Amino acid sequence: MLTRNLLLRIAGPSLFVSLLFLASCLAAAAYLHRQQSASLRDLDENLWSRRTAADLLRVLEDLPGDRPAAEEALERRLRDLVDQARRYADKPEERRLVERLELASTRYVQRRRAGSPGPEGGDLTALVEAELIPACRELEQFNSAEVDRSEGGLHRSLAWTAWGLAGIGLAGAVAGLILSYVVVRGLGRAVLRAGTLAEVGQVAAGMAHELRNPLTAIKMLVQANREDAESQGLPAEDLRIIEQEIRRMEDRLNVFIDFARPPRPDRRLVDLNEVVHQTLALVGGRARKQRVELKFEPPGMAARVEADGEQLRQLLVNLALNALDVMPRGGVLEMEVRPGADGQYEVAVLDTGPGIPARHLPRLYEPFFTSKETGLGLGLVVSQRIARDHGGALHASNRPQGGARFVLRLPAREGPAGGAIGR
């Protein structure tokens, strides 16, 4: 069951990103709504202005034959349309044109009321054609241009709306991916810590069992010596047994420490050929006692990796000792260094022992799983962890001709080798 803290760690970022995304959507929607409203308002005003100018122009151009009635209608219509044009004029240029139209219409009204100079009203007709009609046409053309501009603004606003919605959707998808990655990564770390704690608990239980037997033997020797009234101290054989049991406990504790708190790799450029030479030198004495032949043919080129040389040597020594454990009466222990796929180097550890039982292969890297009576079952676990800490992997299999094969894969690194393998 998820703890409250873990639940908050998972739900907290999700809630924060959701609220942030909601606020962004609301802000974007408000901005787009405001832009569209302004564009529609401008378009509506320009349409009314153009319609007013067109109506006025139509009245001026279509004078009926009955001149007194036409002039009466023209004056009333002219006054109404000029008032409408003044009401819709919201730009300096448009106001200037309306003022020009209003001035011409005022002169028209004044001359009409003062009386026409001729029976045909030529003076009024000339005024209409020379001033009123051009002013109306100019106002109509201006408003037509403004309508086109408003329509263009509306189209741009719609385009921005579409791109804005697409951007919001894309931002939501990206935010979801990022949040998912962060949450999954956090859960992965939490699961890894939980798994490590479970393994440490399992190791601690096994350590208690491993330490109990040596402590019991030491306690019995000490108690027997104390109960012997004539004893002058522990005999040499008892001291040897006590020392042996203490060393056994020390070895178990060192393995436990390596498993529970592995040191961070001190990465340097090292040559895998040199690491293999040092590994074989360390196990050479035991191999000679068991009549095990050691083989290694360097590939004729440096195999450089960026790694902690001591940890790699610890890994290979552990694999070599495991191989010697299964060849007590002789055999061949061979190591190979070769280029692998995808810019990697491979170090193979081969033996001629009985191989790994098929049922044991899936459990090789489980803590405390061992087929040896005196084994603790942590050596391969620590070895696999070292491989992973270096960006590599450790694989186990059986050889077709018999025996086991362990392959360590590590990323290659070009450059001069660092020389020293120790820290």
What is the number of structural domains in the chain? Answer: 3
d(CA 187, CA 166): 31
Strand partners, 269: 306
The mean pLDDT of 176-194, rounded to a whole number, is: 70
Same-domain status, 132 and 229: no
Same-domain status, 9 and 133: yes
Distance of CA 273 to CAs 140, 309, 318, 410, Å? Answer: 91, 11, 17, 13
Residue 390 lies in a domain: yes
Query: Domain range for residue 32?
Result: 4-186
DSSP labels for 167-191? HHHHHHHHHHHHHHHHHHHHHHHHH
How high is the pLDDT of residue 337?
A: 94
How high is the pLDDT of residue 54?
A: 64
How high is the pLDDT of residue 317?
A: 92
Write the pLDDT tens digit of every residue in 85-116. Answer: 777 676 787 778 777 777 777 777 777 777 65
The answer, yes or no, to whether residue 370 has pLDDT greater than 60, is yes
Same-domain status, 279 and 318: yes
d(CA 304, CA 418): 9
**What type of residue is 131?**
E
Query: Which of the listed residues 260, 294, 313 is the one where a domain comes to its end?
Result: 260
Residues 336/348, Cβ–Cβ less than 8 Å = yes
Find the CATH number of the domain harbouring 226.
1.10.287
CA angle 229, 231, 233 (to 5 degrees): 135
The answer, yes or no, to whether residue 245 has pLDDT greater than 60, is yes
Query: Which of the listed residues 167, 186, 205 is the one where a domain comes to its end?
Result: 186
How high is the pLDDT of residue 177?
A: 72
Find the CATH number of the domain harbouring 346.
3.30.565.10
Residue 63 lies in a domain: yes
Residue 398 lies in a domain: yes
Write the pLDDT tens digit of every residue in 202-235. Answer: 666 666 666 776 777 777 777 777 776 566 677 7
Task: Please give the backbone phi and psi of residue 408, each rounded to the nearest 5 degrees, phi first.
Answer: -100, 125
The answer, yes or no, to whether residue 344 has pLDDT greater than 60, is yes
Residue 420 lies in a domain: no
Distance of CA 320 to CAs 165, 179, 284, 371, 382, Å? Answer: 63, 45, 10, 16, 14
How high is the pLDDT of residue 120?
A: 44
Q: Which helix (H) or strand (E) holds 66?
A: none
The answer, yes or no, to whether residue 68 has pLDDT greater than 90, is no
Pick the closest to residue 217 from 235, 256, 243 (CA basis). 243
Same-domain status, 37 and 68: yes
The mean pLDDT of 298-324, rounded to a whole number, is: 90
Same-domain status, 232 and 304: no
Q: What is the mean pLDDT of the chain?
A: 75
Same-domain status, 178 and 215: no
**Residue 328, Cβ neighbours under 10 Å: how many?**
12
> Higher confidence at residue 61 or residue 341?
341
* First-residue to last-residue Cα distance in the chain: 43
Write the pLDDT tens digit of every residue in 23-46. Answer: 776 776 677 667 666 665 665 555
Same-domain status, 278 and 346: yes
How high is the pLDDT of residue 403?
A: 92
d(CA 345, CA 341): 8
Residue 134 lies in a domain: yes
Residue 422 lies in a domain: no
Query: Which of the listed residues 260, 277, 308 is the one where a domain comes to its end?
Result: 260
Same-domain status, 10 and 157: yes
For the chain, how are helix, strand and coil distributed in percent, rounded to 5? Answer: 65, 10, 25
Same-domain status, 169 and 31: yes
**Residue 208, Cβ neighbours under 10 Å: how many?**
9
Find the CATH number of the domain harbouring 72.
1.20.120
The mean pLDDT of 359-373, rounded to a whole number, is: 75
> Higher confidence at residue 174 or residue 17?
174
Write the pLDDT tens digit of every residue in 382-418. Answer: 888 889 989 999 999 999 999 999 999 999 875 444 4
Residue 136 lies in a domain: yes
* Residue keyed to tokens 């739900």: 11
How high is the pLDDT of residue 420?
A: 41
At 331 the three-state DSSP class reads strand
Residue 192 lies in a domain: no
> Higher confidence at residue 27 or residue 121?
27
Same-domain status, 242 and 289: no
Q: How many CA atoms lie within 13 A of 337 on its CB side?
A: 20
Write the pLDDT tens digit of every residue in 262-303. Answer: 677 888 999 999 999 999 999 999 999 999 999 999 888 888
Same-domain status, 249 and 215: yes
d(CA 81, CA 79): 6
Same-domain status, 86 and 106: yes
**What type of residue is 151?**
E
d(CA 217, CA 387): 37
d(CA 23, CA 231): 86
